[in-house]
Chains A and B, each alone.
Chain A
C-alpha cells in the first residue's frame, strides 16, 4: 500500500502547470523542461520530487500541441505531426475543435498507456529478473543503437553521438578495477562528468544558444471559447477507431528502447492515413483523424517508455533518459529488481502520472487562453532567464562552479553538433547507458572467459537469443517506419 498525502497533488499540479507552459513555448522542449524542473528538486525528499517531476512530464507532453495548433510550430518534437492537420483546422476557423480533440485524445491516450503499464510492468519485471549480463548488454546496446539509427539519414552521425556519450560516461574511475581513465589529468573530472550538468547543457544551454538567432516575439490575436473546447459527441464517435489503434501503436513504439512519442506520433499518423479512407477532410487539410492519431500516440507512448525504463532500467527516449537521471539522483534505481524492492514507488509513479494527465487535460482546457498569452511572452526576456535557470540548476548539483563550466561546455558541444546535423539525444543516452553497457559487457566477458564464448552465448542463452531476434526484427521494422515517417512528412 502507498501512503498518499494531499500535498502531493499540489506538487503534481504545480509541476503540470510548469510543464504545460514550457511545453507550449516553441523551442522549449519537454526534455529541457524536465531538466530544469529536476534542478529545483535537488534538496527534496523523494516522493514530493517524483510528484513534481511527473507532473511536469505529463503537462509538457500535452502542452506541445497548443503552439502546434495556434502557431503552426510544434512546441515539442512529439507534436510535429499535430501541425499537419491542427493548423489547417485553425485556418478553417476550427481552432476550438482542433485543440479540443487534441486535449481529449491526449487524456485518453495517456490513461490507456498508463493502464497497460500497470498490467505489463510487473510481468516484464518478472522476466527481467532472469536477465544476466549478456542479456543486459544486448538490450542496452539495442537501445543506444536504435536511437542512432533513428536519426534519419544520418546514421553514422547518430552513432558518433551515441559513442561520444559512452566515452563521456567512461571518464573517471573504472567501475570494476578502479583505474582512473580519460580525466585529461584534471581533478575536476576524477569523479566523472556529472550527467545532470551534461543534460542541462545539452538540452537547456544548447537550446538557449539556438534561440539567440534573430527572431521576433510571436503575434497572436485569438481566443478560445472554453465551452467549445469540449469535443462534440459526433467528433468523438468519429475518432474512436483512430484513437484505438493509435494508442496501441504509441504504446508499443514507446516500449521499444530508443524510441518515444515523436516517432510514435508520426507512425500513428502514417498508419491512420493508410487505414482511414473517408476522413471528414483530406489529411493535411484539417482532418479530425489527423489530429487524433498523433496526439493519442504521443501520450500513450509515455506508458510504453516508462515500462521499459522502470522494469529494465533503460530509458526509451531522451525524456526518459533525463527522468531516469533524476531518479538516480533521488536514490531510486529503476531496473529488474525495481518491482521487488521499490514496488511502492512503481505505484506512486502510476498514481502521480494518472493525476498529472488528468490535471494537464483540465489545465489545458481551462487555461488555453492564458497559454496563448504565454506564447506572446517576449523571447528577449525568456531566453536569458532560462540561461539563468541552467546556471542555477547546474550549480545547485554540488554547489560548485565546475558543474556550471561542464554545463556550458556541453551546451556549446550540443550547439555545434546540432548545427552540423548530429543528433544530441544519443549523447545523453550514451552517458546514461554507457556505464551499464560497459559493466555488463565486461561481466559477461569475464564469466564467458573469451570473446568467442561470449559471442556464442548470445545464441545459446534462450533469453539472449530472444533479444537478439527482437533487435534484428526492430531494425527491419525501423526501416519501414523510417520510410513511412518520411512519406508522412513528405506528403505534408
Chain B
C-alpha cells in the first residue's frame, strides 16, 4: 500500500481549501447578490474556469502522488522532515514576533536582538553556545547600524 507523507497531505489540503473557497465564494455571489455565473459579462466566469481547472489538476495530482509515493518512508527521513518544518515554523514565529516587537522597543534594539537570536540559532559551525552568542552579537551590532545607515540615510527607505 503506497503512502503519502503528512506534508503532501498538508499541501493537498491547502490546494483543496483554495478550490473549495473559490466555489463557495462563487456560489455566495450567485445566491446572495444574484450575479449570473454563465454570461459573457459575468465577473464570475473566469474565476469559475480557474476553479474547475484547479479542481481537475488537484484530483490528478492526488492520484499521481498516491501512485508514485514510496510504500515505506524511512524513519530517519520522516524525522528529518519534521525537524526541518519545526525549525522553519519556529523561525517564522520569530519573524512575526519581531515585526510586533519593533513597534514597542524600536528598530535598532529589536533588530539587533532578532539578529543575535537568529544568528546564534543558525550557527552550526560552532558547538559552544556562549561563542555562538558572542559571534552573533558582534556581527549584528555591526550589521544593524550599517543597514540602518544604508537604507535610511542613503536609499531613503522607510524602516519598520
Q: B61 near A157 (CB under 8 angstroms)?
A: yes
Closest A residue to B143 by CB, please name it: A385
B25 adjacent to A384 (CB under 8 Å):
no
Q: Which of B15, B45, B125 contacts A164 (CB 8 A)?
A: B15
A388 at interface, CB cutoff 8 A: yes
A interface, size bucket: 35 or more
Instruction: Select one of B10, B50, B122, B139 contacting A167, CB under 8 A.
Output: B50
Question: Besides A40-B155, A43-B156, A378-B123, 14 other CB < 8 A contacts?
Answer: A40-B157, A43-B157, A156-B57, A163-B54, A170-B46, A179-B43, A213-B84, A214-B124, A385-B115, A387-B91, A391-B99, A392-B159, A396-B151, A412-B92
**For the complex, is A482 an interface residue (Cβ under 8 Å from B)?**
no
Smallest Cβ distance from B26 to chain A, in angstroms?
9
Whether B158 contacts A396 by the Cβ 8 Å rule is yes
Counting chain B CB atoms within 10 Å of each CB, the highest count among A39, A160, A174 belongs to A160
Contact A170 B50 (CB under 8 A): yes
Is the CB–CB distance between A438 and B46 below 8 Å? yes
**Complex interface: chain A residues within 8 A of B41 (CB):** 176-177, 442, 446
Restricting to B114-160, which residues have a CB under 8 Å from any CB of A?
Answer: 114-115, 118-120, 122-125, 132, 135-136, 139-140, 143, 147, 151, 155-160
Q: Is the CB of B124 within 8 A of A216?
A: yes
The answer for the CA separation of A439 and B58 in the assembled complex, in Å, is 25
- Collect the chain B residues with CB atoms within 8 Å of residue A396's CB: 151, 157-159
Which A residues, 165 to 209, have Cβ-Cβ distances below 8 Å to chain B? 166-167, 170, 174, 176-177, 179, 181-182, 184, 208-209
Q: Does B31 contact A (CB under 8 A)?
A: no
* B18 interface contact, C-beta 8 A: yes
Interface-central residue, A163, A176, A449, by most chain B CB under 10 Å:
A163
Q: How far is the CB of B112 from chain A (nearest CB, A)?
A: 11
B119 to chain A, nearest CB (A): 5
Tell me whether A181 and B122 are in contact in the complex, defined as CB-CB below 8 angstroms, given that A42-B157, A212-B87 are known contacts: no
**CB pair A212 B158 closer than 8 Å:** no
Q: Assess the A384–B115 pair: CB atoms within 8 A.
A: yes
- Does B88 lie at the interface of the complex (its beta carbon under 8 Å from any beta carbon of A)? yes
A417 contacts chain B at the CB level, 8 A cutoff:
yes
* Cα-based distance from A401 to B100 in the complex (angstroms): 9
> Chain B interface secondary structure, helix, strand, loop or mixed?
helix
A446 to B46, CA, bound (A): 12
Inter-chain contacts of A378 with B (CB < 8 A): 123, 125
Report the Cα distance A177→B35, complex, angstroms.
11
Query: CB distance B119 to A381 under 8 Å?
Result: yes
Q: Is the CB of A212 within 8 A of B125?
A: no
Counting CB contacts under 8 A, is A131 at the interface? no
**B31-79 interface (Cβ within 8 A of A):** 35, 40-41, 43, 45-47, 50, 53-54, 57-58, 60-61, 64
Question: B126 — nearest CB in chain A belongs to which residue?
Answer: A380
Q: How far is the CA of A415 from the CA of B143 in the complex (A)?
A: 27
Q: Which residues of A contact B115 (CB under 8 A)?
A: 384-385, 388
* Residues A420 and B57 in contact, CB atoms below 8 Å apart: no
Q: Which residues of chain A have C-beta atoms less than 8 A from B88's C-beta?
A: 209, 212, 412, 415
Which of A181, A216, A417, A441 makes the CB contact (< 8 A) with B11? A417
11 cross-chain CB contacts under 8 A: A39-B157, A156-B61, A208-B91, A381-B119, A392-B160, A401-B99, A413-B14, A417-B11, A419-B81, A445-B40, A448-B40
Q: Which of chain B's residues have a CB closer than 8 A to the CB of A214?
A: 124
Q: CA separation between A446 and B57, bound complex, in Å?
A: 28
B30 near A: Cβ within 8 Å?
Answer: no
Q: Is B7 interfacial (CB-CB < 8 Å)?
A: yes
How long is the Cα–Cα vector from A156 to B55 in the complex, in angstroms? 11
- Determine whether the beta carbon of B151 is less than 8 Å from that of A40: yes
- Residues on A with C-beta less than 8 A from B10 are 416
Question: A416 contacts B11, CB within 8 Å?
Answer: yes
A429 smallest CB distance to B (angstroms): 14
